[in-house]
Each structure stands twice: as structure tokens, then as C-alpha cells.
Structure 1
Amino acid sequence: MTEASTRPLWQRSATELAAAIRERQVSAVEVTEAHLERIRAVNPTINALVDFDEDTVREAARAADQAVAAAEPLGPLHGVPVSIKINTDEQGAATTNGLPAYADDVAPKDAAVTALVRRAGAVLVGRNNVPQFSFRWFSENPLHGRSFNPWDETRTPGGSSGGAAGAVAAGMVPLAHGNDIGGSIRYPSYACGVAGIRPTVGRVPADFGWRDLDRPQSIADELMCVHGPIARTVDDLELGLRVMSGFDARDAVGVPPHAEPAQPVRRIGVVRDPGVLAPDPALVGALDAAAGWFDDAGIEVVDLDLPDLADAHRLWGLLLLEEMREMRGLMNQFGDDVARAAMDHMIEHAVADWGVDVSAKAYFAGWTRRNEIVARLGELFESTPVIMTPPSARPAFVHGTDTAGDERTREMHDAQWPQKSLPVLGLPGVAVPTGVIDGVPTGVQLFGARFSDETLLDVARIVERRAGTFTPIDPWGAALGN
């Protein structure tokens, strides 16, 4: 009997569950019921999943078992519980994006990424909570309430995919969908002690399925925003990425399914601070630990001075500034005071770098500078294919940090330089946990050239093998993982 087969179903990985269902060791109904029971036990505490119907979930599980019994071809996630973020269309569910005005905006069909997950055989279980407009590193809204970090109720689970990361960390689902324009996959994964990948732009269809929600779409949005998976293990990240990858002809930046084989990595660069904000001692310790594990694996580790990342961090504010201002106007119509305050402080942080009135010349110069950085990093990746940074310069933020409007808020925006720099450059990045200090997860971020996703996952496995996994956990209780 394997170790996996002795653990409760809700503690197992998506990879393990899919294999067990395929081999008829367990049924999809058994797996689903185990996760529904876990949801009933812990979701009232952390409020990670919202807006789901147990009868619909059970019906999907029964259909999955009927497919197994009929010896039909099975997808790689057949019978596995997966949750979709509430800013992305799921047929029959409301795409609220945390806004009461869209509480009844039921999607007539799946967004492209949702359709790929469903086609892989997943049983869709609940919807992942978000902040209003999915544009904060905190996950709360007046429609569904606040999501809490299962490690510490005073701290954010991250955002905007905070519900997704919290649900995975607490064992409600083994795999969850998220999206990332400024860290919305990687930051919640770090905050909740799980793993997440921001794929290369174009690899996963970018469609959200929005119909009437007046969220502005821009060049920056198209070139920065991606969908991707959050999971407890790197193997599950790879499985989720494979499932979500696909071509959608409606996607302006989409590419045909593309997975470069993982390449050997002989050199990893470490950027501790590009000149924005030095990392907290806990994050320094995480970087040092991971560097030691890479050294033990025979990989050269070198410290890099890379001010280009500081420029990319600032460019994030410039290239999204007009979109943020337009969204601020929409918040007057649809949002509340909390969302407006958070957006005001985000705009203030960008204005401090770029001024109140940004000329067209300055805006286009920003894109030119962005392309220069991409080219410079491309040369660096030839000798140093993977770069490691802290996932944030600070431990998971205390609730309300982004609305305080004081020094804590300004520090928070600077602390997110690792989160904001990658979307500007269109690069893939992986957040992987390294441990727990003072009851709060720590971790590192790994990034590389476009379409180096599989290589990054291979390197993340080195960290996972040495650090172990720390979830699923009982919210604000003892760890149950290994």
C-alpha cells in the first residue's frame, strides 16, 4: 500500500487522485464527497470558495464515474475537483468579479480556459473569491465578503486569486484556476504556502468570457494578463498547465500549443533587491536556503545586480496607469469605498514615478524601454537561464495595508517589485514555498525566458524535494502535510 493511498482523499494531489480514479481504486463520487465534506468543515472559516451548488457538483461526479464504467477515453483530470475564479466565465455560474451589480450575470458558456479544464474531465467545485475588479493583493468584496489566509487570520491570502490559493492550502481542492497581471497567481501562492505558475503570455487562452462587464481592455492588459494553475505540488502545477494550454483563434496574443522540453540548468542568478526595497530577513533566509539546495544539486548560483527589474517594476505603473484611472471611474459606479481607496493609492504610487499627466511620448517610450529590457534579459538567459528573487520583499501583508494610505501602503507597493516586473516583460514565473517562519509561509520566485515554463517547473522541483510541502493545513491550526 502506497503512502498516497493511506491519506484521506482531500489530502491527496490532483495527480494522485486522477490516477486512482482512472485505475478504479476510488470513484469520482467518493473523491467529490470527501472534498465537499472538507469544504463544509473549513470554508466557513476562511471563505475561499463562493457560489456553488453541491447537487450540481455531485451530478458531475456521477457523470465522471459513468464514463469510467463505460470505458470512455478519460482526460488527465478526470473526476478531480477543481475550482474556477469568479472573474472567469463558468457556464451556469455568475461571473461577479466581486461586484454586487453582477450577482446575476450567469455565464451562458465557459471561457476558453474553463472549457479546457472541463474537457480534461475535472469536476468543477465552487468559485474562487476575489477582490472587486480582481485588482488588489487582498481578496474581499461586498458581495462575497473577505477571504482569510489559512495560516494567519490577520494576513491576506493574497489577491486577486486569494480564494484559489486559500482553497488549495486548506485542502478544499487540489488544483485551482487563477489569473495574473500583477502577481495574482504568484502572490497568493506565496502567501498561502502553495505553488503557482504564471505561464508565458499566449500559452493559455486569455479569454475571460466577459460580456457586459465594463472592465477596460488595453494593450497592457493583453500583453500582461495570463491564466494559470495553483496547486500544492509542482507535479500538479505541470498537470494544470498542460490542461490549460491551448490555442484560441480569438486570442490576439495566443500561440499554438507549445511546450518546450525542460532544459538542463547549470547556472541560476539571484536578485535580492534591484534597487527598490531589500527583502525581509525571512525572505533572505528563503533565498539562502534555496541557493544552498541548488548548490547541492550541482548548479552554480551567482548573485546578480539587475536594475532592469526595478525599471520593469516602475513601468508596470506607467503602462497600466490609464487603465487604472478608467477602472477608478468604474469603481464610482460599481465599487465601494474600500476598492476606491486601494485603487487611489495604487494610482498615487504610479504617479509618484511618472507624474499626473503622462504624455503619449512618455507612454510609448515606456514600451520601448520595456522591449529593451526584454532583449537584455534574453542575452542574460543564454548564460543564466533561471533567475531567483523573493516572491515579495515582505511577508504576507496584514489586512488593510493597501487602504491605510501611510508608509505601510507605500512600502507594500515597493515590496511587490517581484510581482509587477514579470507581467511587464511577458515572462513566466513560478512561486514555490520554502518553509514557514513565525507561522507564515516563506518562498522564492523563479523566472526565465519566454516558453521556459517546463524548465522553471523542473527547477522548482529541486526546492520542493528539499523543502517539502506544508499543506493542506487546518486553518489557523496544525499542518497536516508532510
Structure 2
Amino acid sequence: MKSSDIWQLSAVELAKSTKIGDITAEAAVQASIDRMAQVNPDLNAVVVDLSDDAIVRARALDKSRTDGKPCGPLHGLPVTIKINVDQAGHATSNGVSALVDLIAPDDAPVVKNLQDAGAIVIGRTNTPEFSFRADTDNPLHGRTHNPWGRHISPGGSSGGAGAAVMAGIGAFAHGNDIGGSLRFPAAANGAVTVKPGLGRVPAWNPSQTVERGILAQNMSVQGVITRSARDLHLAMPSLIAADPRDPFHVPMPWNGKTQATPVRVAFCKETYGYALHPEVDAALDDARAALIDAGYHVEEVTLPDVFDAGRTGYRALMGEVYALMKGDVDAAGSQTVRDIFAVYFQEFSPFSGVELLQMMAKRTQYARDWSLFMQRFPLVLTPFLPQPFFKPDRDTEGAAGVHEVLGCAFYSYAMNFLGLPAASVPSRLAQLPTGPQPINVQIAAPRWREDLAVDACIAIEDRIGCMCKPLWEQMRSRI
């Protein structure tokens, strides 16, 4: 393989080569840095360039390997980190101009775990202000663009991560998710991810001065976005390594016990009054066919009330946001993000007082219903969004825009409220009047069984293919 093509390798392929020395860590990192220099000026996905530090670390890892020291599972893999997570010596700006000087005193657990496993950070990726939009733009670093074209938002809040990894910048990208912020960018860019369940990946920012609200703690998770589903099985075991700074992390192994076969999959196209686009309908059928071909038993069923769980959960989260975060948004946010938050509070009328406490308690009822249901159906295949991904800045277009972007995304934030794992995988490349666009579906799994969801993503990907290949062909014609 030519050195200029190394960036095209999957994380699994690259890790195999770097650990045995067929490809040096320096060559792997340099290939991603070169790719970043080629495509990032147009995308603005990586907003903090750490190329120089990355090369120094790569050379150190190469020396360590040649000295006979053991290699970590992610030895020499170039990765990116989202700018809302602490990385020692760098600003955790969260897309907010007022936080540009908030320099992290230490690494967050997820950064430490990645680097301990041998990963090399080549840059930090963009996020919207306060990481609270499904699109990615902010006054500090500007807009991130989707590599498929400017007719599609890159998603958010891990929009820089999704655009970067699909464009070939890094083997995989760190991101996080409180209501869909891993899965929105995966769906927008045709990438793959699994939102871990509650307590799976240790989380904490050493720069924070107060603890996050209890719902933010229970709904927000750390993860990665990849080009290939198999890369999740490589990356996630390193992410879930225990860290005492997160006292509620649960040290469970990545792989659970073998399921009885065929694994049963609940299949549902219900969109609760939202129109199901024909291409999303077809993507669901394609995913179902792929799972059946792979030996899964797929049965169309009625789910526990995911719409009510999702809307209740997000209204509860908005109650906490209104009480604990609105003042910061008003004080440090742009007019654009203040206007968006005002519409959020209209779309998801915040619970408050006793009612907020009651709805937080009701979370257990929803989770119990799903836990019992998943005794029969360990996997649940559904739409992620009922329509193809929206255009940039759709959420700035008042109530109708926010309703299209978040109102219909109950399958997404319901899983955060329930604390369940949920994967996103592309199952179709739609040719729409606006241009080509990947369509992702969602696969939910029981608590602690992210591995089952990833296995199902692999089965779909094996039939459909990775979306990066047609994307790179399209990008080649534009570069």
C-alpha cells in the first residue's frame, strides 16, 4: 500500500499493521495529518490542529515497540477528540467564545483511556455552542460542513467528529451523546456509532467547577464514531476501562454472554404521526433483510411506548436545563443559540417543581417496561429519524425547524432517558433531488449489551457496505 493511502484503512486494519510494525505509528499519523490538510479547510471539522504533538507521540510509540515493549490495542491509531471534553493543556471551549481560555488541567477519563491504549490525538473537533444542537456551528470556530455536500447538515453536537472520520481524518473520532449527539452525526454523514448505556464509559471533566445535573449525568455518555462497524469492537473496550474519578462507572466486560440463536429482533416502523419518508422506509426494509440473511429472527411488533418515554425524558431534561443552564446560555451564548433554546422550551415544555421530580421517578417505569420487553427481543430495529437528514441551520427556522430536527427524534432521546445502548448504522444511500444522502437506522439493545447492537450493525454493513467508499469517490471529484 502506498503511504498516501494509509488513511483509507479501517481502524481494525490499521491497528493490525501498526502492532506488527508493517506500518509505523508515525506513518499512520502522518497519513491522517496529510488527509486533514487536504480536506479539512473545506469541512472545518477539526478546529484545533495537534499535528506536531501527534508526530512526537507517534515516534515515541514506534521506539517503544522496537524496544520490545508491549503495544496497546489502539497502538498508533490517529484519533480526534471533541472540544467539549478535557484534554490537558487545551481549551474545553464547548463552542462558546467565553470559554476559550478554559484550559484543561488534566485529561478526561475518555482521553486518558484512549491514549493509554496507544491512540494518538491529531486534533480536536467542532461542536455547536454548549454542545446542544443537532447541527454544528458556533461564533468561535464557525460552521462545520458535511463531506457529502452542503445540502446536508453535518449533525450535532459531535458534528465535527462525524464529518472528520467519514472524510478520512483519523481512524475514528470521539464524541458524546445526551439526546443523540453521537447518532445524529453518524446519520448525517453515513458513519457508524453505538451510544453506550448508562455507566458504561467513565466520564468527568477535571476543568468543571460544579457537578452536572442529575439528568445530564444519567443521559449523557461518551463514545466514538467510526467508518466501519467492526471498528467499534476494537475501540470501545478501551473506552470502558475503569476510572475512579467516575464513581458511578460500572466495570462490566465489553462482550456479554452468548445469546441463544437466532437472536430475536423487534422491528418497528411506527413514527407516531410523523410522515415516514419512502427512502427511510426502504432503508428499514434493507436493514431487516440484511439481518434475516445473517440469521436473525426479525419480527414486526408494537414496542413499549417509546414516544411517551422520549417526550417525557426530554421535557424533564429541559426542566433541568432551564433551572441549571439557561443563565449561562443567556449570559454567554450567541443570539442564535439563545433563540434556539427559547424554541426548545416551547417544543419541550419543561417540567418543574414536584412534576419534574415525578417525571424523573417515572423514568424507572419506562426502563422496567423496556427491560421486560427485551427479555423477548434483545434487539430493536427502528427508524432513527422519520425523514432524511435535514439541511444546515434548519433548527434556526423557528418552531417548524426545531420540530423537524428534534421533535421527531423521539427514538433518539428515549434511549438516553432509558439508559439503553443504541447503535446507528447506514443501510441505504438515497439519491434525493438535493443530492446523495446516507440513511441510517437505529438498533437498541439491553443494558450492558452494546456488543449485541454492534454485531447487528456488522451484519447490516456486510450486506450494504461502508458509506465511506462512495463518499470518497464523490469527494475525489471535488478536490
Which residue identity is paired with 2:326?
Answer: R
CA distance 1:426–1:265, shift in 2 (3 Å): farther
Partner-residue secondary structure (3-state), 2:81: strand
Select which of 383, 391, 414 maps to 2:384: 391
Question: Cα gap change, 1:253/1:278 in structure 2, threshold over 3 Å: closer, same or farther?
Answer: farther
* SS of equivalent residue, structure 1 residue 178: strand
CA displacement, residues 352-394 of structure 1 (integer Å, 9 cap, x when unaligned): xx6xxx4533223213332112111111111111001112122
**AA of the residue aligned to 1:399:** P
1:421 matched residue in structure 2: 414
Contact 2:262/2:295 (CA < 8 Å) preserved in 1?
no
Cα deviation per residue 1:195-250 (whole Å; 9 max; x = unaligned)? Answer: 011112111002133325x7x71111111110011111111111111110022233
Partner of 2:374: 381
Identical columns (%) = 34
Secondary structure in structure 1 of the residue aligned to 2:299: strand
SS of corresponding position for 2:173:
strand
Distance 2:15 2:292 in 1: 34
Residues 1:470 and 1:5: Cα distance change in structure 2 (over 3 Å): farther
Aligned residue for 2:429, secondary structure, equals strand
Partner of 2:270: 273
SS at match of 1:35: helix
Q: Are 1:139 and 2:112 an aligned pair?
A: no
Paired residues for 1:134-283 under 5 Å: 134-212=131-209, 217-259=212-254, 260-263=256-259, 264-273=261-270, 275-283=272-280
Q: 1:75 to 1:48 in 2, by over 3 A?
A: same
Shift of 1:462: 0.7
The correspondence of residues 334-413 of structure 1 with structure 2, limited to 5 A, is 334-351=332-349, 358-413=351-406
DSSP 3-state at the match of 1:146? coil
Q: Is the 8 A contact 1:151 1:475 kept in 2?
A: no
In structure 1, the partner of 2:7 is: 10
AA partner of residue 293 (structure 1): A
> Contact conserved, 2:11 with 2:231, CA < 8 A, in 1?
yes
Deviates more, 1:241-250 or 1:176-185: 241-250
Look up the SS of the partner of 1:30 in the other structure: helix
Question: Following TM superposition, by how much is the alpha carbon of 1:347 offset from its aligned partner in structure 2, in angstroms?
Answer: 1.2
Structure 2's unaligned 5+ residue stretches are none
Shift of 1:150: 0.6
- SS of the aligned residue for 1:8 comes to helix
Conserved in 1, the CA contact under 8 Å of 2:192 and 2:229? Answer: yes
Q: 1:398 and 1:315 mapped to 2: Cα distance?
A: 27
1:388–1:447: 8 Å Cα contact kept in structure 2?
A: yes
Classify the secondary structure of the residue corresponding to 1:477.
helix
- The amino acid of 1:74's aligned partner reads C
Secondary structure of the structure 2 residue equivalent to 1:137 = coil
Distance in 2 (alpha carbons) for counterparts of 1:10 and 1:188: 20
Scaled by the length of structure 1, what TM-score is found?
0.93
Provide the residue aligned with 2:283 in structure 1. 286
TM-score by length of 2: 0.94
Q: Whole-Å Cα distance in 2 between the matches of residues 324 and 369 of structure 1? A: 18
Alignment match, 2:62: 65
